[in-house]
Structure 1
Amino acid sequence: MSNSTTVIANKPYLDNELACYVQTDKLEMLLPSIQALEATHKIQYQAQKLAYHLPSGKLQLSELRVYLPEGMAAADIESVRKTAIKSILAWHKGDLCKKKANMAHAIEVLVLDIQFKSDIDKANNFVDKDHQHGKYKHLKHNFPARYFMEDLIIDMSDNGQLLQIFGWHDWQSILTALHTPCELWRFLRYRLEQLQQSAISHVPSFDSEEVLINKFLNSSALFTQAIAIDNALIKYGMQDEPNAALIAMALAQKNHSATSQMYQQHMQQAAILWSQLSSQMITMVDENFSTKKSSEQQGNKPFTEAEKQQQHAEFSQWQQQILDESLFSRHELIRTLYRHPKQQQSLQQRGYVVHQHSYECLGRHYVLIFYGQDVEGQHSKKAIQSNLAKIALDVATRLPIAELHHVIVLGIDFITEAEDSFIDIDLWIQPVDAMSQRERQLSKQLQRLQQQSQK
């Protein structure tokens, strides 16, 4: 545990992405042991729990903020810290006893944030000028493997119920480094395995979260899912050979070559760009839907609360689909997008279509339509924009993948004004009913027969 550090926090993109997976409202936690310290140590606290329904499982995130007066003695700080951990563990144990649902696909996390406030003894609430502007003094403390072996003796045999504990700084570092919800899930599973291995071997598997993050990002686990999907796409006849970029990155990772770090940087940059573009796409769709809905309503009546909730649910599902992409999958999508300016001018003039599959989920397929500059052409924005849903349905019936559940169509318009260039992207996400591979094959055969009969 070290001295406090003043941090002006910029939210990591992953923090914003996780917000669209929130399943329930915040659950406020009452912690009697900490409440007892409010009078004796002049502290305050906030404790809440959120459930994130990620594609791989449920992330149960507890956040405990403890506000201490500045100048508190180190021994008192450590006493409060231990009390806070014991209190949250007791609450966590009681909460698990109440639940009857299967917790096998859940990960439990606690972020313990200890902050110092100069005016804590004068205020009756948690909001002050510094808090409003995002300026905090956080205690820098961590929970490496040795802590779980020596200071916090708990049973590590139950994968789904072990509470993984992080300090605020470490949690922010994790969100900043991993970028995507699916990578966060894999890292937490990876960390749990490391903790369990430490318990078995009696040797700490990591000394800091920074070391463990780097170990994870340089492990084969980063490309395992992408390689599995790549093999499945070959099996389904969607591609003839393995993805060359995937092979290059996986080999560089395996051999610890100098290019590995370059690939890491490229994937991280792509992850941020995809996050930004996703937000832009969803915002545009939401605005277009609201405008259309308003024009359809007689007398321009405002949305009812039920309509607002339905719209929010629909767009949350859309957002979850496009954000559920790994570092490598986002890299491939961004690489396809930014390859466009390098295409031949004649191709840019006509417009063209690129099919691309998700490398995180076999059931998700992308159709990227690059609008042609010829406004009357077959692939012009004028011809395509209003038909994105039809295109998605048509593609869905043609794909031979039994696991297919969503087709995502992107209508992409590269715009240049003066010396600035930017991208407008129209979005349509089409859910696909489950079909067996045989049913998809029969559907394709029927389409061919219909096409032949029309000739």
Structure 2
Amino acid sequence: MSHSITTMPDWGYLTTELVCYLQADATAVALAGMHMIEHDYNAQYIARHYQYQLPLGKLQLLELTLYLPFDTGSANIEAVRMIAVKSALSWYKASLSPDEYNDAVGYEALIFDIQLVGGDSSAQNDKDSEKYNALQRLKHSFGARYFLEDLVVDMSESQQQLQVFSWDDWYSIAAAVRTPSELWRFLSYHLEQLQHSATSHIPSFESEDALVEKFLQSPGLFNSAIAVDNALIKNEAQDEPNSALVAITLAYKNQSTTAQMYHQHMLQAATLWSQLSMQMIETYSEKQTINNDDQLDVPLVYWQQQLLGESLFSRHELIRTLYRHPKQSASLQKDGYVVHQHSYESLGRHYVLVFYGQEATGHNSKAAVQPKLAQIAKDVATRLPIIELHHVIVLGIDFITEADDTFIDIDLWIQPVDTMTQRERQLTKQLQRLKHQDIQHQKGSSQSDQQTASNAASANKDSKKDSQADRRPQVHLNLSIPARKDK
């Protein structure tokens, strides 16, 4: 019997990133109805349930792996597949509380993997079973048409839905979207398309690959970044819209040739940011170990969640700032400087990028500034005029050149910020109104977005850029904002 077989795909960094959002160890699940498959088709199955708390909400995954003899016919495979999906749907509905069933508290997905083994379903009997099974993974898909014609499912918008993906489709989606935030938004988009198909009785997409490509080419991908950008201007923490965001959004809307270039840049930036984030966490942990600090006060997984909570565009902007450093003037690199940059995924997350000076004994050298990163974060937290502020992330950046290679060494400190009280909110709004005229006056002046590390907590001024596309909005630090308690 000939089957379409898929090999192990490149999972990408997203599957690794999701681990830090896992709320508990996976739990084994028994699915009613699967015992019949095991008996009638000489099969075995493994089902595990995972719960994640992503930056935008709760994600629950049910991973179901079904082992079938390699000589199982196509008709039997299709019959078994339907029984397995029905069993998973029944378990899912039974596992929900009445409140969860009616309230949209997150997304749930079934990841269904079918593996064909050499006539014996007992994978343990084959000493090379791990390698063998990986090469015999069955390639299959579902899509909107399956749930219209083969397995009709109630897609009422008032109820939680279990979205069903094949193993191959799921990891292709993960490799495409790259970040937890984009994965969450794709699941929302995917569910909307399924519900639209159910109401129109016309499949809204033929394959998951086509749907994720359409999702990633939509200008709606930047809605969250635009909302943050507008909020920064409204809060008078920024003068004007981010020019890069404007350019990329227009390219996507017009489907111009540069849109694909921008998309590739964002994918590269997403991977680089993932690598750097893991490197930063590992470096901090190693330093604590060297200092014999066994009782870490810093929850490193929580730090990692903050860093990896950035979207494609937000990661693009952070990486763009980092990699502009070698293009700065020699004097600026020698003296060191600071760039203030806000997250474009969360209004409450602000970055301070401190580029160390090159002189070992200089005022802004790594040796002089590194011990002050935590204090810089606290100072910025008390001065940034954003009510929603919840974290200030300070990166101490050192570009190291050895022979013909350049490396980046990044020190990290993340400062959580207490939520403002109602009284603090009122005072902040009053102060912002009083400062409005002064800030409007400042808009007419040209300011640099770079400064020495000794002024890290006081202000950020945009440097003049050679082109419109490289200009970034100015971020203001309001020295009159009342201080908040540090956690």
TM-score, length basis structure 1: 0.90
Which of these residues, 354, 363, 378, is aligned with residue 378 of structure 1? Answer: 363
Task: Indicate if the aligned counterparts of 1:349 and 1:374 stay in contact, CA closer than 8 A.
Answer: yes
Following TM superposition, by how much is the alpha carbon of 1:86 offset from its aligned partner in structure 2, in angstroms? 1.1
- The farther-off stretch of 23-32 and 35-44 is 35-44
Question: Any residues of structure 2 matched to 1:269-418 within 5 Å, and which?
Answer: 269-292=268-291, 294=292, 314-418=299-403
Cα offsets for 1:390-417 (capped at 9, x unmatched): 0000000010000000000000000010
Residue aligning to 1:48: 48
User: RMSD value over aligned CA atoms?
Assistant: 2.2
Equivalent position of 1:85 in the other structure: 85
93-102 vs 32-41, which deviates more? 93-102
Structure 1 residues 121 and 185: CA distance shift in structure 2, 3 A: closer
Once the two structures are superposed, residues 102-135 of structure 1 have per-residue CA deviations (whole angstroms, 9 ceiling, x without a partner) of 742210100100011226345447x853526983
1:445 aligns with 2:480: yes
1:347–1:57 distance in 2 versus 1, CA, 3 Å? same
Q: Which moved more, 1:14-23 or 1:372-381?
A: 372-381
CA–CA distance in structure 2, aligned partners of residues 248 and 391 of structure 1 = 33
**Sequence identity, in percent?**
56
Distance of 1:73 and 1:258 partners within structure 2: 46
Aligned length: 432
Q: Tell me, what secondary structure is at the counterpart of 1:328?
A: helix
**Cα deviations by residue, 1:144-202 (Å, 9 ceiling, x for unpaired):** 11112222222212465111000111111100000000000000001111111111222
Amino acid across the alignment from 1:263: Y
The one-letter amino acid paired with 1:207 is E
Pairwise CA distance, 1:72? 1.2
Distance 1:167 1:123 in 2: 21
Q: In structure 1, what is the equivalent of residue 63 of structure 2?
A: 63
In structure 1, what is the Cα distance between the partners aligned to 2:58 and 2:479? 37
Asked if 1 retains the 8 angstrom alpha-carbon contact of 2:392 and 2:414, the reply is yes
Any unmatched runs of 5+ in structure 2?
Answer: 432-477
Equivalent residue letter for 2:242: N
8 Å contact 1:401–1:437 — kept in the other structure?
no
After superposition, give the CA deviation of every residue in 1:291-332 in whole Å (9 maximum; x if it has no partner): 33x2x5xxxxxx5xxx68x86xx1111000000001000000
Report if the CA contact (8 A) 2:383-2:481 is conserved: no
Is the 1:67–1:120 Cα contact (8 Å) retained in structure 2? no
Q: Which residue of 2 aligns with 1:129?
A: 128
Superposition TM-score, scaled by structure 2 size: 0.84
Aligned partners of 2:133, 2:390: CA distance in 1, in Å? 41
- 1:419 aligned residue (374, 394, 404): 404
Amino acid of the structure 2 residue aligned with 1:317: Y
Structure 1 residue runs of 5 or longer lacking an equivalent are: 297-302, 449-455
Q: CA 1:446/1:326 → structure 2, altered by over 3 Å: closer, same or farther?
A: closer
1:159–1:374 distance in 2 versus 1, CA, 3 Å: farther
Q: Retained in 2: the 8 A contact 1:21–1:53?
A: yes
The letter of the residue matching 1:395 is V
Aligned-partner residue type, residue 384 of structure 1: V
Identify if the C-alpha distance between structure 1 residues 102 and 16 changes in structure 2 by more than 3 Å, giving closer, same or farther.
farther
Q: 1:42-191, aligned counterparts within 5 Å? A: 42-97=42-97, 103-118=103-118, 120-121=120-121, 123-124=123-124, 128-131=127-130, 135-158=134-157, 161-191=160-190
Residue 3 of structure 1 and its aligned partner are, at CA, apart by: 2.9
Q: One-letter code of the match for 1:332?
A: E
Tell me by how many angstroms 1:438 deviates.
3.9
Displaced runs of 4+ in structure 1, greater than 3 A?
Answer: 97-103, 119-125, 132-136, 436-444
Larger deviation, residues 181-190 vs 89-98: 89-98
Q: Which amino acid aligns with 2:252?
A: Q
